[in-house]
Amino acid sequence: MNIVKQSPSVLVFDSGIGGLSVYNEIYNKIPNAHYIYVFDNEMFPYGDKSSNFLINRVNSIIEAVTKFYPIDLAVIACNTASTICLPNLRSKFSFPIIGVVPAIKPASLLTKNKCIGLLATKATVERTYITDLIHQFAAHCTVKLLGLSELALIAENKLQGVTVDMKQLKELMQPWLRLRTIPDTIVLGCTHYPFIKTELQMIFPQSNLIDSGHAIAIRVCNLLNDKYKLDRIIPSTSKNIVLSTVYTQSVEKLIKKLSDYNLHKYHTIDISLA
C-alpha cells in the first residue's frame, strides 16, 4: 500500500553561514523536504563563547523556533555548538537532533603519514569531546590541533563577496607550515571552513581536506527515510525559510545570495519568546 505523508520539516542551525555547507549536502539528497535554516548572527562567532552560554543560547533559539514551526528533525550544523549542546537539547526536545562531529574517524582511516590536522574554532579544540574522539579513533596517529577565531569570519566575508586575503590565511596556518611533518589529512572541524576549502588547499596542496557534511546528509536521509519513506512523501510546496536572530546590513546582502540555496523566505526570530 502506498502511504503518502507530508514532507518533513528539517531545521538546520548554525551561528552563521557555515551550516549552509551542511544544509547544501542535505538538500541535494532530500530536495522534497521543507527546510528552516536558522543562524544566530547576533552572537556570532560561537568560537569565543563559554560552554554555559552556548548551552542556554542554543536551547532558547531552538525553543523559539518550535513555537512558530513544527519541526520533525534538527541538525546542529555547528561543531562548536554540537560538541557541547547535544545532551541538553536531546533531553528537551522530542524530535531527533543530529550534531556534527569533526571527521577524526574517517581521517584516521585515510591518513598515510599518520599525521592528522584538526582545524576548528578555539572552543572546539579545547573540548574534552575532542580529546575523547581522538583517543577513541586516532590514538595511533599524531593529531595536531589548530584553534582559530578568524577563519569563520573569513568564510562569512567570502560568501558576501570579499576575496580571501591569502597572505593573512597563510600567516594563520604558520603553526602547521613550520612543522617537520605536515598533516596529510586535514579535518575541517568547523562548518564554515568548506567555504574556504579552495584557499586552504592552495596552502596545503599535498593534504587531503575533509569535512563531515556528506556523512551528516546520509544520517539525516536514513533517519527520515525510516519514518517518512522519502520516495513516497508529498514534496513540500512551502518556501524554505531563513531565520536570523538580528536583522543587519550583512543579512540584507546575504538574503539575495540565499536564493541560490533555495532558501526564499526571511524572518527575524525573537528568542525572548522562548
Q: Where are the alpha helices (DSSP H) in 42-173?
A: 51-68, 79-92, 104-110, 122-126, 128-137, 150-159, 166-172
**x/- letters, 75..104, toward ligand DGL (CB under 6 A):** ---xxx------------------------
Query: Which region among 4-12, 38-46, 228-236, 246-254 touches ligand DGL (by CB under 6 A)?
Result: 38-46
Q: How many CB atoms lie within 10 A of CB 248?
A: 12
**In the complex, least distance from residue 233 CB atom to ligand DGL, rounded to whole angstroms:** 29
Cβ burial, residue 80 (10 Å; 0-12/13-18/19+) = buried
CA pair distance 33, 27, nearest whole angstrom? 8
Q: Which of 10, 33, 39, 45 binds ligand DGL (CB under 6 A)?
A: 45
Q: Closest distance between ligand DGL and the C-beta of residue 139, in Å? A: 24
Distance, in Å, from the CA atom of 100 to the CA atom of 268, rounded to the nearest integer, reads 25
Spatial contact of 270 and 67, defined as CB atoms under 8 Å apart:
no
Rank residues 190 and 230 by Cβ distance to ligand DGL and give the closer one: 190
The whole-angstrom separation of Cα 94 and Cα 39 is 21
> Pick the catalytic residue: 78, 85, 115, 141?
78
**Considering the complex, what minimum distance in angstroms separates the CB of residue 274 from ligand DGL?**
20
Q: Is 245 in the site for ligand DGL (CB under 6 A)?
A: no
What CA–CA distance (Å, rounded) separates 187 from 107? 7
Whether 190 is a known active-site residue: answer yes
Q: Is 141 a catalytic residue?
A: no
Q: Which is nearer to ligand DGL, 75 or 230 (CB)?
A: 75
How is residue 32 written as a grid cell?
522534497
15 near ligand DGL, judged by CB under 6 A: yes
Does residue 147 bind ligand DGL (CB under 6 A)? no
Q: In angstroms, what is the minimal distance from the CB of 193 to ligand DGL?
A: 8
Q: Which residue has the cell 582559530?
A: 148
Grid look-up 548572527 returns 41
Rg of the chain in Å (alpha carbons): 19
**Which residue of the set 85, 115, 141, 190 is catalytic?**
190
What is the binding site for ligand DGL (CB under 6 A)?
Answer: 14-16, 18, 44-47, 78-80, 121, 124, 152, 190-192
Catalytic residue numbers, as ranges: 78, 190
